[in-house]
Structure 1
């Protein structure tokens, strides 16, 4: 698998309002039940995403190691999973919803992350702050579903493939930001800030 080619497999959209939604859509050449299990089974999540613990049922809670925690608020196998996504000591509203649909012999995958974002943070980083992280996650899922190895998060940005993927993702989220009406100068500054964060020299 050419890692950089995975960027063009996803469609990105920003829904800009009082709450911000980053949306990613792509197709996986895997059965919908397989993709569902990869997204909801703790052992498999640890192989492509991150270690996750908790009570994996409707109304249960989860904790991602070193990251978000929350509650499972909707679970309709193998089609819909919605969770609250709480990060830090005083998180505002934040939800992630994944929808899977059998299509063309594989799976149409949609992820929507909707959150209340502090204006200062949004002004600095824009949608790339969340979007690039989800691009990396969807890359991990693609590698997992095709038998590939998980990328090393500590060193990925130092590799040629990693830098190319991350900088391409930052630019792609800048394009989605502009398409949603973002000011070109602010968008350019946010792309630069995201690139410096995710792929420091």
Structure 2
């Protein structure tokens, strides 16, 4: 399926929030993304938890997706399913590159549709946080939520290779620009220095939109 969207309007469908948190005495940053879809909650729940549908907009996910089981996203994170309460919420550990963070997804009925709230809490790594800010995590989820929206609207699959190529296209770069700016503004609202937050957003934009061989 070809990706045809208004990049600015689609980026604005996500409401972004950043919170400062703490786990076991260590500081964390919490990135919160909310988007409402014109789909029934059971359909959205199936799309975000079904091994058959996840590859159509996100990535193949293997393992035991029941509570207490271990899962693995192909080419990405793995972890433990800590909570699974259909069709309302699930929470998992997000283990990638030697780091541990925590992901929770909540679904609520909203005006004939479904609001998805994604909460990703990560330990603060000062150098990384200063360079990229919350957009390093947030923009990846923006792209995933866009893919979910396309899948729910059309019931078609988003080809991963096409999705990667689209991110480098003019529309893709514009989408990432709006998303990374949105995360910077959310970080500023949480107390980050405005100049530093906007510099981090520019770094995030470059990270997501620079070809791998450049």
Q: TM-score by structure 2 length?
A: 0.89
8 Å contact from structure 1 (residues 72, 82) kept in 2: yes
1:164 to 174, 189, 196: 174
Instruction: Judge which range, 131-140 or 174-183, deviates more.
Output: 174-183
Mapping for residues 170-189 of structure 1, pairs under 5 Å: 170-189=180-199
Q: How does 1:35-54 map to 2 (within 5 A)?
A: 35-54=44-63
The separation in 1 between residues aligned to 2:170 and 2:202, in whole angstroms, is 18
1:102-131 alpha-carbon deviations (Å, 9 max, x no partner)? 121110110000111311110110000000
Residue in 1 that maps onto 2:24? none
Could you tell me which residue of structure 1 aligns to residue 35 of structure 2? 26
Map 1:133-148 onto structure 2 (within 5 A): 133-147=140-154
> Taking structure 1 as the reference length, what is the TM-score of the superposition?
0.94
Kept after mapping to 2: 8 A contact 1:23/1:113 = yes
Equivalent residue, structure 2, for 1:120: 127
CA distance in 1, matches of 2:54, 2:148: 9
Is structure 2 residue 24 aligned with structure 1 residue 11?
Answer: no
Query: What value does the CA root-mean-square deviation take over the aligned residues?
Result: 1.4
Which of 163, 182, 192 is the aligned partner of 2:202?
192
User: What are the superposed Cα offsets for residues 127-154 of structure 1, whole Å, 9 maximum, x if unpaired?
Assistant: 0000000000100100000015526233
Task: State the secondary structure of the residue aligned to 1:43.
Answer: coil
Comparing both chains, which one has the higher relative contact order based on Cα–Cα distances under 8 Å and sequence gaps of 6 or more?
2
Gaps of 5+ in 2: 22-26
Q: Hey, what does 1:150 align to over in structure 2?
A: 158
Aligned residue-pair number: 199
Q: Secondary structure at the match of 2:12?
A: helix
Aligned residue runs from structure 1 range 101-112, under 5 A: 101-112=108-119
CA drift of 1:7 comes to 1.0
**Residue of structure 1 aligned with 2:139, choices 113, 132, 145:** 132
Question: Is the deviation greater in 42-51 or in 145-154?
Answer: 145-154
**146-155 or 121-130, which deviates more:** 146-155
Counterpart-to-counterpart distance in 2, 1:124 and 1:181 = 16
Tell whether 2:107 aligns with 1:91.
Answer: no
